Structure 1
């Protein structure tokens, strides 16, 4: 039984081009108690592979988190398969605002300790005891309330290019870093304030809502479906849009534009910019914001050193990396000292 990819990303990309068929980028998650994550993982891989579904799925005892690319013509079959799983029946599917048939080029289904790493080892903490879900309309209503504190549960490089007006945006690299910081900062408001949280698609703020309830916060709310669903409802119902900038997404598109505001700056020259790229030097691969002028000037590299290395023949680049430890900086997300205008 095949339980792994047999095609490279380039081979898959060629097949997608050849087929010329529409694909849908979407995501979903569900917190649930899964007894045998490995068995469930294998079940998903076989079914998704047959349906030509691509993407990244994490499975754990606490549930499932999936970002996918699904052939449009097979969406109904895909939906029927998902609905047949008892804890995924009618699960909300967040359809991407901006579509790209090459958002994912491989199918990766992995078993993880948790679907959202939180650093918590508290066995009394029940992730399914979540806060109150709110629609876009209710979110806007709460945002106007002086007793509401809006908190962005995403990381610094996400909120840097887009966030809700008036939101607290913790300067953190990971979700696990944000939990103790927010708890300490808002400790005096456990009973007198409404805690309104949001994230990309809902998965992080749902866990956070359960965590802060566990920590004694009395009025905990979360934006159902995250920024993705908020934008859909705002457009569909013609509501006021309180999100400024771009919504960072975890596929090859990198972001979806929600408003025309450019609130970030190029990390190299400081000019207004909100496009993330990875440094072209494979030994670096730093994720950072770069404007069009700097992309041309630096050949999509983060520094002069990387530019010179990336210009070398591929075999010479490999030789330079040989025998050295992993210097890949993709997880630094714009924190490199090479950048003059990093956040």
Structure 2
């Protein structure tokens, strides 16, 4: 039995168009003790491939982290399968605010050392002693609480296009970078302030809340379900929306519109814009913000050099890439010097 993808992204895209079925973009996570992640990985792939599930799933001894696209008419079968797994029974599913049938084009289930790269020694603290989960209503109250400090646990390119009012948005490249930075900056408030955290779907805050309690913070809170669940509750219960801009998401959509406000700028011309793209030059693939005018002028590239390379015949481009490695780790997701209007906030700003 094949436990890997046999179709390219383009082939899968054509099949989705041909099927003409609506799909749901879903995310969930669960910290648990998984004895053999490889066997569990294979189990998930076999069952989800039969249900035409696509997405990116990480499995580790500490649990599972999943971002998925599921055919709407297979959702009940998908949910039944989740409920058949003891530690996933009744797990909260974050359903995307904006649906896109092509949010994922392959099924990738990977075994990792951790389900989120946090760089922590989990043996040094109890990950089950997490902070207080709060819903959208309580979170709105905490945002206005003078004794609360609201912290965005996401990376700089996520908070740049959208964040909560009054939130501190650390200028970091990784989740791990933010952990020590936040502790250092808030070390004088471990006793007297409420530490209130949020992220996309809740998974980063789940670990961080236990970590900060271990580090001596007495009042630790986290937004349950993250920005995705907050938005659902705000719309369903008609609460005040305190999120400004877009929520960055890790699929082909790259963002969900939460409010009409555009708080970011095109990295090439400086006009208001919050649309993330990847440079069309495959040897670069830099993630940055680009408006429609610049996309036309630059042929969807981040620089004149990349534009020249992208204009070459494909075989010539392949030769230029040969033996070279380019990744988002190298280009720091929007920190390239070619981007004239990339904002560079202070390391710990609000």
Superposition RMSD in Å: 1.0
Deviations 1:313-338 (Å, cap 9, x if unpaired)? Answer: 11111122223x21344752101011
Q: Identify the residue that residue 73 of structure 1 maps to in structure 2.
A: 73
Shift of 1:226: 0.2
Q: Tell me the distance in 1 between the aligned counterparts of 2:122 and 2:251.
A: 31
Deviations 1:169-224 (Å, cap 9, x if unpaired)? Answer: 00000000000000101111111001110000000111111110111111000000
Shift of 1:82: 0.3
Q: Tell me the distance in 1 between the aligned counterparts of 2:15 and 2:126.
A: 44
Q: Identify the residue that residue 96 of structure 1 maps to in structure 2.
A: 96
Count of matched residue pairs: 342
Shift of 1:144: 1.3
Q: Identify the residue that residue 300 of structure 1 maps to in structure 2.
A: 300
Shift of 1:146: 0.5
Shift of 1:122: 4.5
Q: Which structure 2 residues correspond to residues 214-225 of structure 1 after superposition, within 5 A? A: 214-225=214-225
2:14 is the alignment partner of 1:8: no
Q: Which structure 2 residues correspond to residues 42-121 of structure 1 after superposition, within 5 A? A: 42-121=42-121
Deviations 1:19-73 (Å, cap 9, x if unpaired)? Answer: 0001100000011111111111111011101111000000111111000000100
Query: The residue matched to 1:69 in structure 2 has which SS?
Result: strand
Query: The residue matched to 1:59 in structure 2 has which SS?
Result: strand
Is the 1:282–1:328 Cα contact (8 Å) retained in structure 2? no
Q: Tell me the distance in 2 between the aligned counterparts of 1:15 and 1:2.
A: 19
Q: Identify the residue that residue 39 of structure 1 maps to in structure 2.
A: 39
Query: The residue matched to 1:130 in structure 2 has which SS?
Result: coil
Q: Tell me the distance in 1 between the aligned counterparts of 2:173 and 2:215.
A: 22
Q: Identify the residue that residue 326 of structure 1 maps to in structure 2.
A: 325
Task: Give 5+ residue unaligned stretches, structure 2.
Answer: 344-350
Query: The residue matched to 1:246 in structure 2 has which SS?
Result: strand
Deviations 1:83-125 (Å, cap 9, x if unpaired)? Answer: 1111111110000000001100100000110001111125122
Deviations 1:278-320 (Å, cap 9, x if unpaired)? Answer: 0011110100001111111111110001111101111111122
2:289 is the alignment partner of 1:289: yes
Q: Identify the residue that residue 182 of structure 2 maps to in structure 1.
A: 182
Q: Tell me the distance in 2 between the aligned counterparts of 1:328 and 1:301.
A: 16
TM-score (norm 2): 0.96
Is the 1:32–1:128 Cα contact (8 Å) retained in structure 2? no
Query: The residue matched to 2:123 in structure 1 has which SS?
Result: coil
Deviations 1:122-144 (Å, cap 9, x if unpaired)? Answer: 51222222111000001001111
TM-score (norm 1): 0.98
Task: Give 5+ residue unaligned stretches, structure 1.
Answer: none
Structure 1 stretches of 4+ moved >3 Å: 328-331
